[in-house]
Amino acid sequence: MRRYFVYLKEYKWYCILGAAMKWIEAVLELLVPLVMANIIDVGITQRASVSYVLAGGGVMLAMGAVGFGCALFCQRSASIASQGFGTNVRNAFFRHINTLSYRELDKIGTASLITRTTNDVNQMQSAVAMIIRLVVRAPFIAAGAVVLCFVIDWQIGLLVTAVSVLVGAVLWVIMHKTVPYYSKNQKKLDRLAQITNENLEGARVVRAFSRREGERARFGAAADDMLDNSLKMGRISAWLNPLTYAIVNFGVALILLLCDFKVHSPSGFSSGDIVALINYMAQILNAMIVISNLVSLFTKAHASMNRVSEVFDLHTSIEEGGDAEADSEAPAVEMRGVCFSYAGTEQYSLTDVELTIPRGATVGIIGGTGSGKSTLVQLLPRLYDVGAGSVKIFGHDVKEYPLRKLREMFGVVPQNASLFSGTVRSNLRWGKSDATDEEMEEALKVACAYGFIKEKGGLDQAVTEGGKNFSGGQRQRLTIARALVGRPALLILDDSCSALDFATDAKVRKNIGALKSVTTILISQRASSIKNADTIYVLEDGKIAGSGKHEDLYKDCALYREICDSQARA
């Protein structure tokens, strides 16, 4: 819990003053029954002047007005502090997520991270608001009412204390029983978010395969699972108010019975005292109801806080490197004895990979689905760290470079053409934040994208979410242009021309090949796309099955020959 205090630091005075105002309101509320008792005992029973009664009423009105003003101030302070807290936590959480490597992100999952960033932080934010508004007030009202009951009569005070302890015990038992269900509910919400995300992202696929009914059933099953858990939680929580009301009202009945004996006793019990006691019991009841609702809220917030803390406690498996500088004489890439496996599995995706890529060369990587092509190139900019062996870039192990400096050497075009909402200009500047219009236009020309961008409206053409207002081939060419804007030393094209026709594919590769001082790594399923590469590496089950030029591999590597022949027949 302490780790989150830092996010409230700039709002500490809102928290302190808001809680203080709420405390003043609670004090005034506790004094009202005493003023009322005095009006009854002196102003009415002893038949004092009407002005005395009116003066007492005026005092009560003034106390109500001051309490109302304090409540408004507290409400405003709680809103500012809680919203600011939620914003600070959410920003810190997002920053932390972006420090994690692919290994940690794969472990948690995208849907769960989205739920934690939104729903879980919202629960924590609500808890902060309630702490300022009610945590000071409700327990103080309950405790203060008990103390004032002791002041009026110690025997009744003991009875009120017993009732309060019983209600507290009920609250603790129900909270203890419901905590596990709240944690499960958040996980089931993650599952719902995952299914929703998959269906929204793959809406075209769902409709193309007429799988709407099946997906509705899958979503319905997940929703029903969450409903069952919520109902179990609700059945337990449903006992809270009835038990609280029953205990408190039973206490009121006992107090009235005891007051009946007290009234007829020699010491006597005034009407005002009875009214004050009933008022205090009502205040205790209301305070206990508020506390019971707070218990429910804080139980949810506690479960959410644990989920957010779970991510904060994760640290990237990729540590910051040293201060190495690129060696101008060394090869662009060297891999020696590289082995790698993904988190959660002991099976290697890459085994004993050995390769060397000279500076300025064009290298092709080909292999069947699941052979480890994409995994191999993800090790170069340290998106993952190797399990064994070493990866060197320009003469130094990738772990010796500062991460930012290492990744600035690369221009990566992933399999899935990912664009961000904004404009063509804002997307291209991902490759170089201060790129000029001339640099961006040159990159578009190399990627064969300048023509359609100019027709659509130029660099200020809007890009919708995911670039859905462009075709698949256009998105691929824009991602290639984005990678080229910064003129990287190493360019990785991970099957990034799959949506292009053969003529455009060939033209893009020709334009890239004409770039100076750029080492290019082409990953492709098409043998025709890499046949002119300086060296071709053939991968099979995470191992290099052959390497060399197209003609040599076709003669000596059975797997490469099989790939070429199958595509020629097609």
Task: Read off the pLDDT band of 81 (50, 70, 90).
Answer: very high
Burial of 504 (0-12, 13-18, 19+ CB in 10 A): middle
Does pLDDT of 450 surpass 90?
no
* Upper half-sphere CA count for residue 450 (Cβ side, 13 Å): 13
Look at residue 73 in the predicted model and tell me its pLDDT.
92
User: Nearest-CA neighbor of 364 among 264, 509, 565, 170?
Assistant: 509
| pLDDT value, residue 267 | 60
Q: What is the pLDDT of residue 264?
A: 65
More confident residue, 194 or 121: 121
Q: Using H for helix, E for strand and C for coil, what is the string for 182-208?
A: HHHHHHHHHHHHHHHHHHHHCHHHHHH
**Whether the predicted pLDDT of 411 surpasses 80:** yes
Centre a 10 Å sphere on the Cβ of residue 307 and count the other Cβ atoms it contains: 22
Please give the mean pLDDT across all residues of the chain.
83
Q: What is the average pLDDT across 15-20?
A: 89
CB 283 within 8 A of CB 235: no
The domains of the chain are located at 2-312, 333-569
Confidence of residue 46 (pLDDT cuts 50, 70, 90): low
The pLDDT > 70 percentage for the chain reads 95
| Nearest-angstrom CA–CA distance, 187 and 89 | 20
* 8 Å CB contact between 36 and 279: yes
Residue 384, pLDDT above cutoff 80: yes
pTM of this structure: 0.72
Task: Taking residues 367-377, report their average pLDDT.
Answer: 83
Report pLDDT for 67: 86
Q: Pick from 299, 254, 313: which is nearest to 96 by CA?
A: 313
Chain-centre distance for alpha carbon 232: 26
Domain 333-569 in CATH 3.40.190.10: no
Cα 259 to Cα 52, 150, 264, 318, 408: the distances in Å are: 27, 14, 9, 72, 82
pLDDT at 377: 87
pLDDT at residue 85 in the model: 92
Least confident of 22-26, 175-179, 383-387, 402-406: 175-179
pLDDT of 557: 86
pLDDT at position 115 is: 83
What's the pLDDT at 89?
A: 92
Query: Is it the case that residue 6 has pLDDT exceeding 90?
Result: no
Are 34 and 148 in contact, with CB atoms under 8 Å apart?
Answer: yes
* Token pair in block for residue 266: 């020699």
CA dihedral 275, 277, 281, 286 (to 10 degrees): 60
Instruction: Give the pLDDT confidence of 466-503 residue by residue, as tens digits.
Output: 788 888 888 888 888 988 888 888 988 887 777 677 78
- Give the domain 2-312 fold: ABC transporter transmembrane region fold (1.20.1560)
Q: What is the mean pLDDT of residues 300-309?
A: 84
377 and 494 Cβ atoms separated by less than 8 Å:
yes
Higher-pLDDT residue of 48 and 553 is 553
Among 311-315, 341-345, 467-471, the minimum mean pLDDT is found in: 341-345
Alpha helices (runs of H) in 472-557, residue ranges in sequence order? 472-485, 502-513, 527-530, 550-556
Backbone angles phi, psi at 523, to 5 degrees: -110, 125
Is residue 570 scored above 60 in pLDDT? no
Higher pLDDT, 438 or 568: 438
Residue 285 has pLDDT above 90, yes or no: no
The per-residue pLDDT for 88 is 93
Task: In whole angstroms, give the CA distance from residue 320 to residue 179.
Answer: 39
* Mean pLDDT value of segment 67-80: 90
Q: What is the mean pLDDT of residues 56-70?
A: 87
Cα–Cα dist 156/260, whole Å: 12
